[in-house]
A = this chain, B = another copy of it.
């Protein structure tokens, strides 16, 4: 099986702590194919002997690998390399202002429309709420280097976020405001493609019928709806990138 080395050699390799060394060592073998899916990884007590450490240290390394779905641990049976199932990619969807500034481009924001109203039936359906309440409806545009980057169409539930009534969305993008004023929400994203209708085309300064990437984000907090937003990006210039590890 050629597990390498003594603990000392491993630690000499770089300056990581022991459990990280063990984790990386096992991960390397899995990713390199040395231990293929289904392979039984040495028992904890064997790894203890090999790395000359206590069981808790081995356990910490294996627990993290199990959390990452790289291995599967079965009582009495042992620990096995998992067969990758779904390609779970991590998609980082940044706040648009932060994203554009992070790209080193100049950011511009324009508020197109902002109104406060009692939620109508369509609003309630979109926010997934039953009771009638007040909402803020916002349309705005984000630009990078003075080129339209995305247009945004948003509803904010004022019952959940009453402070939003006092916010000034003429200068601050609602997404950024919410990010700083409503901590720790949960969300669901839906990504699709559409062709630009007249209004979208005008907003993004593209041709009617040009492809657009659409991201719908529905955000809630402790079972209460916070906001629903639809973002249109020019499809030929914007791309979402997701990186992952897993098969």
User: A interface vs B, CB < 8 Å?
Assistant: 30-33, 36-37, 56, 67, 70, 81, 83-95, 98, 179-180, 183-195, 209-214, 217, 221-222, 233, 235-236, 238-247
With a CB–CB cut-off of 8 A, which chain B residues contact A194? 193, 211, 235-236
Cα–Cα, bound, A183→B69 (Å) = 13
Select A183's contact among B33, B92, B241, beta carbons within 8 Å: B33
Cα–Cα, bound, A236→B195 (Å) = 9
B222 touches A31 (CB 8 A): yes
Closest chain B CB from A120 CB (angstroms) = 25
Closest chain B CB from A161 CB (angstroms) = 11
A212 touches B211 (CB 8 A): yes
B87 touches A222 (CB 8 A): no
Cα–Cα, bound, A190→B32 (Å) = 25
A213 touches B191 (CB 8 A): yes
With a CB–CB cut-off of 8 A, which chain B residues contact A83? 180, 183
CB contact under 8 A between A193 and B190, given known A91-B88, A209-B209: no
Closest chain B CB from A40 CB (angstroms) = 15
With a CB–CB cut-off of 8 A, which chain B residues contact A90? 88-91
A189 touches B241 (CB 8 A): yes
Closest chain B CB from A31 CB (angstroms) = 5
